[in-house]
Amino acid sequence: MSKYRLTRLALEADTSIKGLIEIREAPLATEEELALAHDPSYVQRFFSGQLDPKEMRSIGFPWSQGLVSRARASAGGTLAATRALLEWHLPLTANIAGGTHHAFADRGEGFCVFNDIAVSAHMAMAEQGIERVLVIDLDVHQGNGTSAIFAKDDRVTTFDVHGDKNYPWKTRTTSTYDIALPDGTGDEEYLRLLEDWLPRLFANHRPQLVFYQAGVDAMESDSFGRLSLTRRGLRQRNRMVLSKCIKESVPTVITMGGGYSRPIGDTVEAHADVHRTAIEILGNH
Q: Enumerate the active-site residues.
A: 102
Strand intervals (E) in 182-265: 209-213, 252-255
Q: Quick one: what percent of the chain has pLDDT higher than 90? A: 98
Question: How many CB atoms are located within 10 Å of the residue 20 CB?
Answer: 14
Per the DSSP assignment, residues forming a β-bridge with 228 are 186
Question: Could you give the C-alpha distances from 73 to 66, 70, 97, 193, in angstroms and in order?
Answer: 11, 5, 9, 34
State the pTM of this model: 0.98
At 181 the pLDDT is 98
Domains along the chain with CATH numbers: 2-283 (3.40.800.20)
What's phi and psi for 160, nearest 5 deg? -130, 120
At 5 the pLDDT is 96
At 174 the pLDDT is 98
At 179 the pLDDT is 99
The rounded radius of gyration (Å) of the Cα atoms in the chain is 17
At 285 the pLDDT is 77
